[in-house]
Chain A
Amino acid sequence: MGDIAIIDYGAGNLRSVNNAVVKLGYQVGITNNAEEILRAKAVIFPGVGAAGDTMFTLDKMGLMPVVRQLAAENRPLLGICIGLQVLYTGTEEGGWFDCLDIIKGRVKKLPSGLKVPHMGWNQVKIKKSHPLFEGIPDSSNFYFVHSYYGDPEDKSLVIAETEYGVKFASCVGRGNLVAVQFHPERSGDLGLQIYENFFKFAGIK
């Protein structure tokens, strides 16, 4: 267990997130142990798939209070894809599921008329300067795969936007909390740069 913890609740992209962090040369642990997660200097909250199922699993594993505590204590936390969506108040996926309510707002379905999931490389337009995008050109392409998107009530939390039928917040953040809808671990060199930036931001190395 190093400085970095990846929250283990069986998310599909756990392995690739771990591979990316290892590739960058950091010490990382995949764990569902609350103490280990709370001891880490930086925590990654991965995810892919359905938000409702994720909430169910997090609840069953007793991880909801852990994520809430990380956010309440303003600890460096990086949410990815579903790890972003469950930070919101709730999601319309499968009717309505209450989520962690760390960021006020709803997770909504992408508009119909376009192919869903939104799958592939799309531009991330930086709206607000943030250390996460240090050295990354504006409107760079990152890999997305999702059918829902988060809509924060407080628009000042939006760090970057992406357009797919609707302009949505592809990166949001507050204090040391930051979360992206795209998959940096599947976005080539620029994606690895996002992780590197996050660790620097978290004061590691």
Chain B
Amino acid sequence: MLTKRIIPCLDVKGGRVVKGVKFKSHRDAGDPVELAAFYNEQGADELVFYDITASSDERPIMLDVVKRTANQIFIPLTVGGGLRTVEDMHRMLEAGADKVSINTAAVLRPELISEGAKRFGNQCIVLGMDAKRVTGSDPVRWEVYTHTGADGGQTSGIDAIKWACRAVDLGAGEIVVNSIDADGTKAGYDLELLRAISECVTVPVVASGGAGSPEDLYQALIVGKADAVLAASIFHYGTYTILETKKYLSGKGIPVRF
């Protein structure tokens, strides 16, 4: 049986992990390669690096981080943030990433998804969607946001569910659903949004934004029907280890890899 994936996400800027990371061990918590190795030892099923560098001048630093990680760690690696062209994708994949995640650039120019999928295969192209509930909408609906790296971003006015379906038609092989409303709250994923997208697309869906406990991950997998869960804070702050999380999920009947 295909196991559910647990994926820690690392925000990287200028070659360092920037979200506050507090481990009980004495590792250099800011070095992405060390952290990647640490999570790998803990049983992470994949890793995501999110490049929050604003300027493309610093892109070579990210490429170096990806390269050094890929030399050491033999689990799948996704890189997202600021990728605008097929050439940008190519450089990341060549450095050792297995998948590239795109958001803003795909909204601005949806053909980027099909161009990337045609050149590298659908399995390489992840749509990393940032979605936010439309205040007062009834029935509830969500809109896709772009430029979320800066000040919360801006709405594109595009319906999140429709966009997810379109992205799959264009060739996206996986969708990361990041709820802007839930992000950072540790109050749980946006289960309604997750479920709506999981039920309408044929590709794997990854839950993102809002994880505060292993129970939240469980809810995302069962109620939200997600195929994988991404989390940052709960792992970075050492609130729960990946192993503890997997044991919890396994105890509730979710197939996980140990």
Most buried by B among A13, A121, A143: A121
Contact B121 A19 (CB under 8 A): no
Report the Cα distance A193→B227, complex, angstroms. Answer: 27
| A contact residues around B120 at 8 Å (CB) | 12, 49
Q: Name the 5 nearest CB pairs between A and B, nearest first.
A: A49-B121, A141-B257, A121-B257, A145-B123, A122-B2
Contact A120 B93 (CB under 8 A): no
| A contact residues around B227 at 8 Å (CB) | 115, 119-120
The answer to the question of B228 belonging to the interface, with a C-beta cut-off of 8 Å to chain A, is: yes
Assign chain A's interface to a size class: 35 or more
Report the Cα distance A146→B204, complex, angstroms. Answer: 12
List 13 A-B residue pairs with CB atoms under 8 Å apart, sorted by A's residue number. Answer: A12-B98, A12-B121, A19-B96, A49-B121, A112-B202, A115-B205, A116-B203, A117-B204, A118-B2, A121-B5, A122-B1, A143-B75, A186-B76
The answer to the question of A123 belonging to the interface, with a C-beta cut-off of 8 Å to chain B, is: yes
Chain A nearest CB from B102 CB (Å) reads 17
Contact A188 B75 (CB under 8 A): yes
Of the candidates A16, A116, A118, A122, the one whose C-beta lies within 8 Å of that of B98 is A16
Report the Cα distance A189→B40, complex, angstroms. Answer: 10
The answer to the question of B56 belonging to the interface, with a C-beta cut-off of 8 Å to chain A, is: no
Q: A117-B122, A164-B2 are in contact. Are A16 and B74 (CB under 8 A)?
A: yes
The answer to the question of B135 belonging to the interface, with a C-beta cut-off of 8 Å to chain A, is: no
Interface residues of B (CB under 8 A from A): 1-5, 40, 45, 70-72, 74-76, 93-96, 98, 120-124, 173-174, 202-205, 227-228, 257
Contact B204 A115 (CB under 8 A): yes
* Interface mask (A44-55 → B, CB under 8 Å = 1, otherwise 0): 000011100000
Contact B257 A191 (CB under 8 A): no
| A contact residues around B257 at 8 Å (CB) | 121, 141
Q: A19-B96, A115-B203, A121-B257 are in contact. Are A188 and B74 (CB under 8 A)?
A: yes
| A contact residues around B4 at 8 Å (CB) | 120
In chain A between 5 and 40, which residues have their CB closer than 8 angstroms to a CB of chain B?
Answer: 12-13, 15-16, 19-20, 22-23
| B contact residues around A189 at 8 Å (CB) | 74
| B contact residues around A118 at 8 Å (CB) | 2
Chain B nearest CB from A103 CB (Å) reads 22
Interface residues of A (CB under 8 A from B): 12-13, 15-16, 19-20, 22-23, 48-50, 112, 115-123, 141, 143-147, 163-164, 185-189, 191-192
| A contact residues around B72 at 8 Å (CB) | 23
| B contact residues around A187 at 8 Å (CB) | 74-75
Q: A19-B70, A188-B75 are in contact. Are A115 and B121 (CB under 8 A)?
A: no
Contact B124 A12 (CB under 8 A): yes
Contact B3 A122 (CB under 8 A): yes
Beyond A187-B74, A189-B74, 19 additional contacts (C-beta under 8 Å) are A15-B94, A16-B70, A19-B96, A49-B124, A115-B227, A116-B203, A117-B173, A121-B2, A121-B5, A121-B45, A122-B1, A122-B2, A122-B3, A123-B1, A141-B257, A147-B123, A185-B74, A186-B75, A188-B75
| B contact residues around A122 at 8 Å (CB) | 1-3
| B contact residues around A186 at 8 Å (CB) | 74-76, 98
Chain A nearest CB from B151 CB (Å) reads 33
Chain B nearest CB from A97 CB (Å) reads 15
Q: A119-B174, A119-B204, A120-B5 are in contact. Are A16 and B122 (CB under 8 A)?
A: no
| B contact residues around A188 at 8 Å (CB) | 40, 74-75
Q: A121-B257, A145-B123, A186-B75 are in contact. Are A116 and B70 (CB under 8 A)?
A: no
Report the Cα distance A188→B93, complex, angstroms. Answer: 19
Report the Cα distance A188→B40, complex, angstroms. Answer: 8
Report the Cα distance A116→B174, complex, angstroms. Answer: 9
Contact A16 B173 (CB under 8 A): no
Contact A117 B70 (CB under 8 A): no
Q: A117-B204, A186-B98 are in contact. Are A20 and B74 (CB under 8 A)?
A: yes
Report the Cα distance A59→B208, complex, angstroms. Answer: 42
| B contact residues around A49 at 8 Å (CB) | 120-121, 123-124
Chain B nearest CB from A193 CB (Å) reads 11
Chain A nearest CB from B254 CB (Å) reads 13
| A contact residues around B1 at 8 Å (CB) | 122-123, 163
